[in-house]
A and B are shown apart, each in its own frame.
Chain A
């Protein structure tokens, strides 16, 4: 990916403008609805298209996700209770190169979650689960003479149980474990990221798989597959580089276990979703910003009882 942006923009005076734009977009609201059933948090952590004209970067991401849910009453299956959940996540993240072949990524999220079941809203704020990823540059074909420029990264990492997890609460009993800031579990991640570019047009494919473990109360969130394919165009004028991009994301989440030791599989959890996604990245010298908006085009979560709503993601980078 390095070569994608080998000539870059000057003048950073627009940074404040970018911050304002991103903050504004991050603050945009849309109908927030919820998830009252277990395990519908297809929490997405993916790398996507990354800047490579400087090795290191640090950035702040904002992601907004929301769900609506209907839960059939046990007493009367024809009577659905409605619920909603919306999650705002601010995340500090960065990349550090060791030599030319190894990249380290760190992620530290802060969650602001709200869930409501039966009209009572429950808010949970706090530091979430931190993650560390290591990627190897498997190959890079970015010589000036190369017609097709390609980069393949692959690696793995771990998600640490740094977020607050209070065990099985009354909310959990009601099916709302997702409003907690942490999962209480150590999870292991593998990922790959491939970019190919011909002149100003390119494709980025990424995939990550998260293998979860049971937490201290034996709750185990479902393993997750997160894949994406993005087409982008590299546009540059004066001091600004823009990468408009669009594509699809597919996420698949296995069922949770209410109790992993006893193999109590929660079949009202897990599912799959396809997002159509579009956005743009902008760079000015060492500064960058990104906005992505994703609309579900097909989904089946929690036996169809959970509906994932559109997702918004914004980022700011500082490259060094």
Chain B
């Protein structure tokens, strides 16, 4: 009887959100991590500690080994483009390659979204070279959300933004996470931000993940 209960708990545990087991890439080995639906897990750590690599490994952009599953379905059961569409990875530096901003989107930019992020209404027609750092970043977030990802992997989404834009972006991301019940892994350098947005806070150090005490951190 007891063992059935346990296996059921394990089962449901795996069904929830994003599950990572025994993930290894480059020098990082056997990382375990799970993010439940609507949960924001913040990731702190020095630069070079492997936070970005972890996100890229989960998105299957770099060579890695291990079990990654979403809502209980293994990564390998999706085609690579399908997996990456579901797992929205936002790089630290957003790049643009087409002639205009619009061409990077699957559907035209909505006025509402542009307004939400304080972006000009005709930004879609602009050449990317015209964008400021902050505009690149904010449009990059819209570009990621445009693919309707089920999980968010965010690499310092507010790094290039001033305080005001930063809190707007935080809110847009948290709204999306709430509406879509999306699990989110949020890399940040700011302990304040981690305390604000994270339900759990992990630190990447010496090639491993340790959970930090929220109460201590936000004091």
Q: Are A and B part of the same complex?
A: no
Give the interface of B toward A (CB within 8 A).
Answer: none
